[in-house]
Structure 1
Amino acid sequence: MTSYNPKDWISFIFHLSKADTFRKLIPMMLLIGIYSGVIGYLEIEYWHLPDNSPVKNISIMHGMLGFVISLLLAYRTNTAYDRWWEGRKLWGSLVNNSRNLSIKLSAMLQDEKDRNFFRKIIPGYASILHKHLNDRDTSLQLFDDLDLDIDHHKHKPNQVAKMMFQKINDLYVSKKITGDQLLILNTEVHSFTDICGACERIKNTPIPYSYSAFIKKFIFIYVLTLPFGYVFSLGYYVIPVVVFIFYVLASLELIAEEIEDPFGMDANDLPTKKIAENIKKHVEELI
């Protein structure tokens, strides 16, 4: 995730970052510019269309459809941001739940071996979840002194949660914790699985294909028809105008595409790796 100062206008305006949509759209902007120039040349130099030509009225269509496309893009962007923000709230809950579980275990456990197990496995769950959501292979050994025998063909976070609860149940069987304490700890471990499931729901449920494809086609056709009507009033200045309109509309769609999956490796995705590292730091301080 890109770190920035929201009050630094100069860097926003003149600096091209990795996440800037301008870089990605340069090839298409060049093609749109060439296309607009060809249409302008044909209408002005070749066809010699008069000012009262019906082609000039195409701009009326753009005025009516402009409102529609703005509503579609606003809804698209808001929906994508809601998914991004929900992902951030879920990982915030994972941080708090890891802290709460660590605080309770710190007070309940006296055996250093038991404390060391949870000191490693609680942040291990966050690390496994980060890699699971990024579709990465998980190491068989996350820490030097804690081996996690993970089956890569099965659900990895569930296996870590199972180990965690198995250890808690063993503590109850060996009378190191009471039945009431078992219920308290069970609630905390249960919340980890709830968070994992909610993250998977975001990850595995993209925006419907038909909706996303329609917006892209709508933007493309809308921009391709712009030069026909605006050449009459703008002349060859229609080239930068159409390119700029395409840049604005396509950028909104690109931004929505990037943030709708907040668990990837794009510049604006959530810093889940950093959050997992913070969980490890906090758990080690508590237990």
Structure 2
Amino acid sequence: MDSSVSSLTQYGSFRKPTFPLSNSCRHKPRRWPLALRFIKGAIHHVILVPILLHTLFTCIIVYIHINIQTLSVPANIVPSLSIVVGLMLVFRNSSSYDRYWGGRTNLQSIGTSVRNLTRSFLVCGPDRDEADRKETEKVVKVLVGMLYAVKNHLRSTWGHGYLLPEYKGLLPEGMYGFESEGVGLVLELAVVVERYIKRGVDRGAFNAPQSSMLSSQLNALVDAYGKMETIKLTPIPIAHQIHQKQVLALYCCVLPFCLVDELGWLCVPIICLICFMLYGIEGIGEEIEDPFGSDKNDIKIDAIIEDLRQEVSVLLDSWRRGGEEYTI
């Protein structure tokens, strides 16, 4: 017990206090109920213009109906239109959330592969001399670099090295990549990792089952990266987006004619409320369709990667000291 306490005192003094998933979890409770939130994370700024236009259109219809001539139409056409609008909104939102969930699960698959490969390389990698240890440390840093490469690839942030400071100390020295020639950095770094696995087999550090398992983990990482790339490059078909917006606009334009005779000026706030709900649902679908950005409604990729980097860094620091008592 005393030795454990002294070890924690000795090696804990230079570590920044943290905890697992400290970046990606929520740090403070919400001060306001979500029903009262209109700025951070909300989509009101996206739907404000169509709501104002439909409200203005409703005001014109009501004024003409009351002061000039009757414009009302039978209200029994509303249910038929409502079914179409409801089905289209449900499809759009479910499709968008499937993309969001797919992006998050594939990011977790990449993180799991990095954890597994890091563990295997530190415990079972070549360890005959200092050169072997330096090579192991280099390839573990490359695994962390792959996380940033995935993020930047999905955000179309090309270039690395001196252009992106987050790569500092992670990529092999002198590596500038071939992104300008159409090769993603993730694939280049996967080649570096695969070469390390092959050298480990040649030096007897990995046996055949181990090398097969390590290659499978690397393949799983690249596969998850490819699936995220598919989500990024395959948006909702433009024909569906056009028709949905036209149907939604038509529905909200027809409603004033159906309600004006019965509600009069009360029709204006009612239409405004209906537009708020329908355009809000449609706006959420648009917001989460591409979940790899950096706003409130996107996957917290930056925070998740920082948590993984922290995990790998601590394991790597412990491995550098060479004491098994510091690792679990």
TM-score by length of 1: 0.90
Distance 1:2 1:278, change over 3 A: closer
Aligned CA distance change for structure 1 residues 3 and 120 (closer, same or farther; 3 Å):
closer
Partner of 1:150: 177
Query: Of 195, 219, 222, which residue of structure 2 is paired with 1:190?
Result: 219
Following superposition, the deviation at residue 115 of structure 1 comes to 2.4
Shift in Å, 1:10: 4.4
Aligned to 1:251: 280
**Pair 144,8 (structure 1): closer, same or farther in 2 beyond 3 Å:** closer
2:49 to 11, 18, 27: 27
Q: Is the 8 A contact 2:110 2:225 kept in 1?
A: no
Match of 2:154 in 1: 133
Shift of the alpha carbon at 1:80? Answer: 0.9
1:262 Cα offset (Å): 1.2
Q: How many residues align?
A: 280
What does 1:1-287 correspond to in 2, within 5 Å? Answer: 10-47=32-69, 49=70, 55-57=72-74, 59-109=75-125, 110=127, 111-140=132-161, 142-144=167-169, 146-147=172-173, 148-153=175-180, 154-287=183-316
Structure 1: runs of 5+ lacking an equivalent: none
Q: Which moved more, 1:177-186 or 1:189-198?
A: 177-186
Q: Distance in 2 between matches of 1:23 and 1:184?
A: 49
| Local SS of the residue matching 2:176 | coil
Moved more, 263-272 or 130-139: 263-272
1:214-257 CA-partner distances (Å, limit 9, x unpaired): 11100001111111121101101111111111111111111001
* Counterpart residue number, 2:322: none
Q: Which ranges of structure 2 fall in alignment gaps of 5 or more residues?
A: 1-22, 317-328
Q: Write the distance in 2 (CA, Å) between the matches of 1:132 and 1:30.
A: 38
Kindly indicate whether the alpha-carbon contact (under 8 Å) linking 1:83 and 1:260 is maintained by their aligned counterparts in 2: yes
Q: Which residue identity does 1:261 align to in structure 2?
A: D
Identical aligned residues as a percent? 24
C-alpha separation between the residues in 1 aligned to 2:209 and 2:259? Answer: 74
CA contact (8 A) 2:43 2:283 kept: yes
Give the drift of 1:3.
7.4
Amino acid at match of 1:36: T
* RMSD of aligned Cα (Å): 2.3
SS in 2 for 1:150: coil
Residue identity matched to 1:69: V
Q: 1:109-155 CA distances to partner (integer Å, 9 max, x unpaired)?
A: 22321221122111110110000001112312612374333122222
Q: 1:83 to 1:185 in 2, by over 3 A?
A: same
The question of whether the paired residues in 2 share the 8 Å contact of 1:128 and 1:138 is answered with no
Closer, same or farther: CA 4–255 of 1 in aligned 2, 3 Å: farther
Residues 103-112 or 212-221, more deviating: 103-112
CA distance in 1, matches of 2:26, 2:77: 40
Question: Residues of 1 paired with 2:288 and 2:200: CA distance?
Answer: 42
Higher normalized contact order (CA 8 Å, seq sep 6+, divided by chain length) = 1
Post-superposition offset of 1:167: 2.2
Cα displacement (A) at 1:56: 3.1
Distance in 2 between the 1:10 and 1:192 partners? 39
Which stretch of the first structure deviates more once superposed, 79-88 or 10-19? 10-19
Letter in 2 for 1:248: M
CA contact (8 A) 1:119 1:284 kept: no
For the Cα contact (< 8 Å) 1:140–1:150, is it kept in 2?
A: no
Q: In the alignment, residue 149 of structure 1 is paired with which amino acid?
A: Y
Cα distance, 1:60 vs. partner? 1.4
User: What's the secondary structure of 1:56's corresponding residue?
Assistant: coil
Which shifted more, 250-259 or 111-120? 111-120
